[in-house]
Amino acid sequence: MTRDLTGEFQIQRQAANQEPYPTLTVRRDRLARLARMTKHHQLEIIRAIQTDFGQRSDVEIRMAEISAVLHAVRHARLHLWRWMRPWAVSMPWRLLPARARIAPQPLGVIGVMSPWNYPWSLALMPVVDAFAAGNVAMLKPSEHCPMTSALLKRLVPQYFPPEELCVVEGGVEVATLFSRLPFDHLLFTGSNAVGRQIAQSAAVNLTPTTLELGGKSPVIVASDADLDQAAAAIIFGKGMNAGQTCIAPDYVLVESRRISELVKALSHAIQKQRPDDHSATQAIDATHQQRLDDMLAEAHDHGCRVIDHGQHAPALIIDPHQDLQVMREEIFGRCLPVIGVSDMQAALNYVNDRPHPLALYAFTSDKTLQQQLLHTTRSGALVFNATLLHHAVPSLPFGGVGESGMGAYHGRHGFERFSHLRGVFYQSKRAPSTMLYPPYRRWLMKLIGLG
C-alpha cells in the first residue's frame, strides 16, 4: 500500500498558517527542546549510530553529531534576537522622506532530507536553522541508518507535537513521495544523482531547494607547505568517520619533486593517528566496503603504488590514472590518491578542469598563491592549512556551488535561507507623492532625470 504523507503535511501547514510569525520566545523554546533531546539521550544516540555503522568511534560521534547540534542551537539562541530584527535600507533621494526595511519572515513548512553519514547532526542541524527562522519542519532521515531513524521517530514526539516537527521513516519510495510535498523550502543533503531528482520533484510545486551535495574535494600542498603539518591535517580530515564525510579530502595534489616526501609524512601521520584500531569507524555496510576494496584492487592491478596501513586506516594510492574508479567518482571512504603535478599552476588547472568541489583545501602561507586560489578557483569553501574545521564556524555559510550543490545554511545563513526577506516600504505622510502621479510635469521629470 502506498504511504500517504499529505495528512502529516496538512497538520504542519495549518500550524504554520495559524502561527505565521512565532515570537523570539517560542523559537528559543523550540531550539532548547532540540538541544535537550540531543543532550538527554546522548547514550542512546551513540548506541544507535554505532549499531547502524557496525562500529563507530565514540569520540567522533560526540564531536560531530552531538556537539555539532548543541553548538548550532547555542549559536542560534544567542543571536536570534538580532537576526529577527528588520533592518533599514537606503532610500533614493527622489523618494524621500519614505523609508524602507527588510523584514525576515518565516517561510512556513520546511522539508529536510538527510543522508546516512552523520545521521543525527545532518538531520537536525537544518531543523535548528528552520526553527530559528520561525518555521515548522518535516524530517525524512536516511533508511541506511535504521536505528538512528527509529530513535528520531521515537524521541521527537516526546519533545515536539507533530505540528512543530515530525519524522517520516522509509526508503526510496517514501523519499520520493516526501520530495513531492508542496513544502515552502526543501533542504536535501545527499548524493549528486539523487539531488537532481529531488530538484525535479520540487520544481513541480515551485518549491525552492537547497541541495547539499558531495563531490571530490581536492587538497593542494604547495611548495612552501610544512609537509608534516599538512600530512597531519589531511589524515585528520580523511580519517574522520573513515572518510565518509562530504568535505573529506578526496585526493591530494603536490609537486612531483615532493611526492615521496609527502607520502612519507602521510604514512607517518596515519601510523600516529590511525594505528590499525579495530574499534575505529568502519564503512557503513558491505556494499560500501566492497566499493572501496574494488577501488584499491583496481589501482593495484593497474600498477599503482598502494600503501595500505590496514582496514581501518586511510590507504594511499600514488599517481592513479584518471580513468580509474577512484578518480572518476567521489571516494567517500578511506582511499586517498596522491597525485604529482609539475607546479602550482598545473594544480590549479587540475582543479579548474573538474566540477566545483564542496571544499578546496590548500596548504600554503604564500599570500600571492592564496589570492590566486581565492580569485581563480571555485568551491563551496576554501580552507587554508587545515581540513574540516570550517564546518565548525557557525558564521560561515556551509554549502556547495555548481555540482557540489546550491544554497547554504548554518547560523545566520541558515536563518536567511529559511526566511523570506520581505521588502517593506513605508510612505511618509509628508511625502509629496502626488507630484509623481499623472499628469506628468515636465520640470519634475527633468529634476528626477527623465526629462
Which C-beta is closer to ligand NAD: that of 122 or that of 232?
122
The residue ranges of DSSP E strands in 282-329, in sequence order, are 305-308, 315-318
Residue 430 CB contacts under 8 Å (≥ 6 apart), including other chains: 97
CA–CA separation, 254 vs 344, rounded Å?
8
The answer to whether residue 60 is catalytic is no
Residues within window 176-205 making contact with ligand NAD, judged by CB under 6 A? 176, 179, 189-191, 194, 197
Residue 183 CB contacts under 8 Å (≥ 6 apart), including other chains: 109, 110, 111, 138, 202, 205, 207
CB of 392 to ligand NAD, least distance (A): 14
Residues within window 1-20 making contact with ligand NAD, judged by CB under 6 A? none
Which C-beta is closer to ligand NAD: that of 120 or that of 225?
120
Which C-beta is closer to ligand NAD: that of 125 or that of 338?
125
Residue 286 CB contacts under 8 Å (≥ 6 apart), including other chains: none
- Out of 22, 126, 214, 414, which residue is the one contacting ligand NAD (CB under 6 A)? 214
The answer to whether residue 246 is catalytic is yes
Site residue total, ligand NAD (CB under 6 A): 28
Catalytic residue among 8, 163, 212, 403: 212
CB of 173 to ligand NAD, least distance (A): 8
Q: Is 405 in the site for ligand NAD (CB under 6 A)?
A: yes
Catalytic residue among 246, 335, 403, 416: 246
CA–CA separation, 237 vs 275, rounded Å?
16
The piece of 111-119, 223-231, 429-437, 438-446 that touches ligand NAD (CB under 6 A) is 111-119
Residue number, nearest CB to ligand NAD: 214
CA–CA separation, 259 vs 255, rounded Å?
6
Burial class (CB in 10 A: 0-12, 13-18, 19+), 94: exposed
CA–CA separation, 96 vs 101, rounded Å?
14
What does the chain come to in residues? 451
**So which residues are the catalytic ones?**
212, 246
Positions in the binding site for ligand NAD (CB under 6 A):
113-117, 122, 140, 142-144, 172, 175-176, 179, 189-191, 194, 197, 212-214, 246, 330, 332, 358, 400, 405
